[in-house]
A = this chain, B = another copy of it.
């Protein structure tokens, strides 16, 4: 399969003449919650994900396909934790349990925790709020979640309290087109991918990926014996703001790839850390910016549809992450897939990672559920969108100004944090004498001498034996201050001009 081209056109939606679909309206979530009653979920409570989903029984949605034949023996034979099963007996009134080996919360030496966060809940959206949680807030009726619960053992799927928010958010954004979809938390997408390979990757199986891809995924899968087979069974893809190319697959491209997956019965691992780093269109160095999106609904409609939203078969495991939109250190993410796959996943988690950190879950619950709500979270994502737009624009403006277009070319990324830069190494003075890898290494070190670090494109080749014949460098605009991004790109231009024997730029400009 060819790699997606770097940039494709997204469908444009004119919301002024558009009836907003029901599913995009946030206040409907609150109605649903009110109808289903107060969430009561004590220590290590099993979550009923179906109860968190919208009532869509008036719309026909098919059931997901079963994946028994594809699951590894390990995944199929996992029966889960028998002691957690014993918890079902605890509902008897008046029972005194000497059963579960859970420590008493009186021995948790944390009485209270608080988190100072931007206040997005109020209509003003100004200032900060301090969110506090005590040990027994549930017993006191002041919250649905407390430290006695969050700091105790939990379930593989994570706490019902946070999972409800994630299920609702997933339905709001993706509305999967089959009926028995579900969500379960992960300890991050790297772990989710590792788990997915243990579930689906039989030794010798082949995994399809983009031509350049996130090397950690290859390094995770290869030692388990995946790859090297004849016919692929899994497709691993980062459809939005891909790492390293920055490319975003168009809806049309996604539909075509999904059809290929259906034809060859591929299971799709959709890894989407950058989904909400979709940015405003790039207008060029001297043009006016495109106006910001005006409403939550407009924002949701502007997002390129996910594979999950096209998944009529239940053949997608979507991996979502808080790493790029809240913080990587939470080590909390979630997957969305069919109930069968989510169940296999959470049963496995019960016996390996257990649940994500309760401290992290509590922090996310306080921010997302109790402070921001669904609308506030979208506001935060809109804020991040505009910040990344500004960062990308500075990068592209600097590329226009400082890079020698004779030997380097690029496209404007629509999403993510990466600028992929193609270097025409065929024009390098040593082209006839040295290999691509040698010249790439020389350029890497030449950049370092000029005081700028960019990643080598070859680090992202999933198969080191395949010669793409093309040379790339990856620049990220995620972290450096804007003036330093500009300076780093200027240094890269200088480094390239020197290496390729081009005329230097006049001081400070193109």
Measured between C-beta atoms, what is the minimum distance from A214 to chain B in Å? 8
When the two chains form their complex, are residues A453 and B98 in contact, meaning their CB atoms are under 8 A apart? yes
Contact of A81 among B215, B477, B484 (CB under 8 A): B215
Interface string of A92-105 (1 = CB under 8 A from B): 10111111111110
When the two chains form their complex, are residues A331 and B352 in contact, meaning their CB atoms are under 8 A apart? no
* A57-116, CB < 8 A from B: 73-75, 77-83, 86, 89-90, 92, 94-104, 107-116
Measured between C-beta atoms, what is the minimum distance from A394 to chain B in Å? 12
Q: Is A284 an interface residue (CB 8 A)?
A: no
Oligomeric state, in number of copies?
2
When the two chains form their complex, are residues B323 and A103 in contact, meaning their CB atoms are under 8 A apart? yes
Interface size (A, Cβ < 8 Å)? 107
A225 contacts across to B, CB distance below 8 A: 73-74
Q: Is A488 an interface residue (CB 8 A)?
A: yes
For the complex, give the distance between the alpha carbons of A353 and B192 in Å: 8
A109 contacts across to B, CB distance below 8 A: 117-118, 326-327, 367, 380
Nearest residue, chain B, Cβ from A92: B448
When the two chains form their complex, are residues B111 and A459 in contact, meaning their CB atoms are under 8 A apart? no
For the complex, give the distance between the alpha carbons of A418 and B222 in Å: 43
Q: Is A220 an interface residue (CB 8 A)?
A: yes
Nearest residue, chain B, Cβ from A331: B357
Spot the interface stretch: A145-153, A263-271, A495-503. Answer: A145-153
Q: Is A485 an interface residue (CB 8 A)?
A: yes
Contact of A108 among B327, B350, B453 (CB under 8 A): B327
Measured between C-beta atoms, what is the minimum distance from A267 to chain B in Å? 20
When the two chains form their complex, are residues A243 and B101 in contact, meaning their CB atoms are under 8 A apart? yes
Contact of A188 among B108, B325, B353, B359 (CB under 8 A): B353
Interface string of A229-243 (1 = CB under 8 A from B): 000000000000001
For the complex, give the distance between the alpha carbons of A99 and B100 in Å: 48
For the complex, give the distance between the alpha carbons of A222 and B83 in Å: 16
For the complex, give the distance between the alpha carbons of A9 and B475 in Å: 64
Q: When A219-B78, A357-B331 are in contact, do A115 and B118 touch as well, CB less than 8 Å?
A: no
Instruction: Please give 11 more A-B residue pairs, beta carbons under 8 A apart, in addition to A113-B114, A329-B358, A360-B360.
Output: A78-B219, A90-B453, A96-B480, A103-B417, A110-B363, A187-B353, A188-B354, A194-B353, A327-B358, A357-B360, A359-B360
Q: When A and B form their complex, which 8 residue pairs have the shortest distance between CB atoms, in order from nearest? A: A329-B358, A357-B357, A151-B329, A151-B327, A112-B116, A194-B352, A98-B475, A96-B488
